[in-house]
């Protein structure tokens, strides 16, 4: 059957030029400075649990042999179960957020240092991530980018919700104790599902 005057066997004309589209870059194993490009909460196949699917865009590389990975993306899954929450907790901490309680902040645009590595499961090899570090506290000196550990973590702290006044005052142990383990977001922040997710 014809489709807009062209048989399916002949293909279709589109407005854009495929010559101008870059193919997806593979990220080689190595240490990188990355930015969280996307973060989605999805259900598992059986629907029994949820997980976070994150994309890390490579900003800079540590070694010359991995420079070609700059601009590429690494995708990783963070399972929401007690045995696997250590990984999500480490990433939240590396992004300068409070990693206590049961609310997960929106980590999009957070900069983080990580190791990319290959993991093989059921015959399929995928690139995974581990060893998350804060570039503003740990420092970063890569091929093209530098983050001074002596400077405040302005980029990551800009994503962090403001702390309640009770926690801002040093020495107020009673107030801090009362809020231990709870979300430190302001009322405005907790009202936005895009900023935090209950797990």
| C-beta of residue 31 within 8 angstroms of C-beta of residue 115 | yes
Phi, psi for residue 57 in degrees, rounded to 5: -95, 130
Tens of pLDDT, residue by residue over 75-116, are 999 999 888 999 999 999 999 999 999 999 999 999 999 999
Q: Domain boundaries in the chain?
A: 23-150+162-188
| C-beta of residue 33 within 8 angstroms of C-beta of residue 27 | no
Q: pTM here?
A: 0.67
Tens of pLDDT, residue by residue over 12-58, are 888 888 777 666 778 999 999 999 999 999 998 888 899 999 999 99
Rounded CA separation 175/48 (Å) = 37
């Amino acid at each position: 059957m014809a489709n807009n005057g062209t048989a399916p066997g002949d293909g279709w004309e589109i407005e854009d030029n495929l010559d101008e589209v870059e193919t997806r870059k593979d990220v080689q194993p190595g240490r990188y400075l990355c930015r969280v490009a996307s973060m989605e909460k999805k259900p598992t196949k059986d629907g029994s649990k949820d997980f976070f699917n994150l994309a890390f865009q490579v900003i800079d590389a540590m070694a010359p042999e991995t420079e070609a990975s700059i601009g590429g993306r690494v995708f990783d899954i963070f399972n929401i179960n007690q045995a696997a929450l250590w990984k999500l907790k480490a990433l939240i901490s590396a992004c300068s957020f409070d990693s206590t309680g049961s609310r997960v902040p929106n980590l999009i645009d957070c900069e983080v240092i990580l190791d990319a590595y290959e993991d093989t499961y059921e015959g399929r090899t995928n690139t995974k991530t581990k060893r998350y570090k804060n570039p503003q506290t740990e420092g970063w000196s890569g091929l093209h980018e530098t983050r001074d550990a002596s400077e405040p973590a302005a980029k990551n702290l800009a994503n962090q919700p403001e702390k309640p006044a009770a926690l801002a005052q040093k020495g107020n142990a009673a107030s801090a104790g009362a809020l231990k383990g709870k979300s430190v977001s302001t009322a405005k922040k907790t009202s936005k599902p895009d900023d935090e997710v209950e797990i």
